[in-house]
Amino acid sequence: MDIIYLNDLRIDTVIGIYDWERQTKQTIILDIEMGTDIGKAARTDSIEDTINYKAVAKRLFTFVGESEFELVETLAEKIAEILLNEFKLPWCRLRLNKQGALRGVRDVGIIIERGRRD
């Protein structure tokens, strides 16, 4: 399996369980690996035969930017569902970083790996 990736995708969103977190947007950082087979795209040289990472980034900017989840776990699952279902990926790995969430800690977040269930 080949992997197309997006690293350091930064999106401002409302995320958190505390009142102060619900008042202002925070930046989350996404690193995404998307499993695919690039063979056909390499032969045809056509964007229609691969994962359009610009379309993925645009979709996530909209979804995450408009979301207001309390838990990073929920946000990560919803992002994985979008990747698998809307972009027809067989597999994805997502690292969601909520930088600055804890004093004295640079990075806090979650890493999930999901595959299609069909």
Q: Which residues are catalytically annotated? A: 98
Q: Nearest to residue 89, comparing CAs of 104, 97, 79?
A: 79
> Angle at the Cα of 93 (from 81 to 64), degrees rounded to 5?
50
What are the b/e assignments for 32-43, b being 16+ CB within 10 Å? bbbbbeeeebee
Interatomic CA distance for residues 65 and 59, integer angstroms: 10
